[in-house]
């Protein structure tokens, strides 16, 4: 039976695509058919390309990335500027089509968990519609404790399970980074899947060796 996860972050620019790609590479290295999905990409296709490169399963691009928006804004605003309306049901149908192709599927959300997708729906609504356990990328910087704990509360409020979290050191000068990780280990309900050191040139292949796959 295939496993699928919704990957989100404590904020934007915390390394979600890096971790999603690394998890796909780790799954592929274990002999699994690994496939990534980026339902909404705003500001270019780089994230989509990274997921495609990390997986080992061919899939139609319109299923992997139903909505490609031009400007690096919140999806709701970027879609409005492009004259597009994001439809969660369209994303759900594309997800269903992809799920049968892979043993391990990662759906990477946009921004943080509650980022608006439309005037009435957000990333949490999408995760709930797909009904997937969640992997949380915690960007290690000042404020990450609050952001991580609030995100887990939001995940639970949608009736979803936090399957694991990854600590990604995005601020190389952060004070007490290890202590912050230890605090989250004690307070978050899910296992720590890995700690990723700061990298000037992030490499999913290197990061893959640092991560455990979520159960």
Residues belonging to the active site: 38
**How many CB atoms lie under 10 A from the CB of residue 108?**
29
Could you tell me if 136 and 109 are in contact, meaning their C-beta atoms sit under 8 angstroms apart? no
Task: Find the DSSP H helices in 105-195.
Answer: 123-130, 144-157, 177-187
> Cα–Cα distance between 64 and 80 in angstroms, integer?
21
**How many CB atoms lie under 10 A from the CB of residue 176?**
11
**How many CB atoms lie under 10 A from the CB of residue 213?**
18
What Cα–Cα distance (Å) separates residue 143 from each residue in 146, 171, 186, 207?
Answer: 6, 12, 17, 24
Pairing of strands 67-69, 40-42: parallel
């Amino acid at each position: 039976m295939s496993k699928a996860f919704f990957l989100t972050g404590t904020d934007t620019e915390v390394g979600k695509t890096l971790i999603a790609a690394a998890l796909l590479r780790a799954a592929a290295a274990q002999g699994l058919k690994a496939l990534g999905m980026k339902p909404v990409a705003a500001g270019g296709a780089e994230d989509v390309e990274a997921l495609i490169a990390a997986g080992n399963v061919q899939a139609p691009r319109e299923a992997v990335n139903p909505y490609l928006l031009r400007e690096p804004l919140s999806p709701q605003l970027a879609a409005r500027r492009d004259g597009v309306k994001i439809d969660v049901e369209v994303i759900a149908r594309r997800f269903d089509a992809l799920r049968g192709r892979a043993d391990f599927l990662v759906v990477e959300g946009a921004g943080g968990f509650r980022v608006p997708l439309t005037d009435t729906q957000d990333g949490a609504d999408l995760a709930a519609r797909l009904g997937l356990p969640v992997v949380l990328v915690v960007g290690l910087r000042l404020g990450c404790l609050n952001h991580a704990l609030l995100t887990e509360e939001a995940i639970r409020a949608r009736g979803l399970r936090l399957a694991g979290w990854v600590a990604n050191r995005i601020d190389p000068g952060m004070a007490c980074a290890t202590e912050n990780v230890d605090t989250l280990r004690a307070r978050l309900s899910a296992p720590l899947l890995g700690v990723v050191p700061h990298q000037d040139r992030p490499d999913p292949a290197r990061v893959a060796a640092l991560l455990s796959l979520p159960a």
